[in-house]
Amino acid sequence: MLPAMRNYVVAAWERRRHRERELHQVTADTAEHAIVAVASSRPLDEQPGVYEAWPAEAPELNLRITYAAPRRRPLLRPETE
């Protein structure tokens, strides 16, 4: 059985600027899906860092996800003899 769609509030902010939150209203199955809907709408290099989502009618039921950009892997160079 699929969960019912709900209205969620999704807040997005940079770790250094907690007071400057962007708020979005999203209709989704779960809080995770609401965060993905907001996060996937922007390029990786413009991700704010922290996402928090809660049902519009129950703000005490919040979910927080911290996004960290992938670390750059060192370039592997072939060994020379």
Write out pLDDT tens, residues 58-78.
Answer: 988 888 888 765 566 666 666
pTM over 0.85: no
pLDDT at residue number 43: 84
Report the candidate in 70, 38, 68 with the shortest Cα–Cα distance to residue 52: 38
How confident is the model over 30-46, as pLDDT tens digits? 999 999 999 888 887 77
Question: From CA 52, how far away is CA 35, in angstroms rounded?
Answer: 7
pLDDT at residue 53 greater than cutoff 70: yes
- Three-class SS of residue 8? strand
Q: What per-residue confidence (pLDDT) applies to 68?
A: 64
User: Taking Cα atoms as reference points, which of 81, 42, 40, 34 lies closest to residue 62?
Assistant: 34
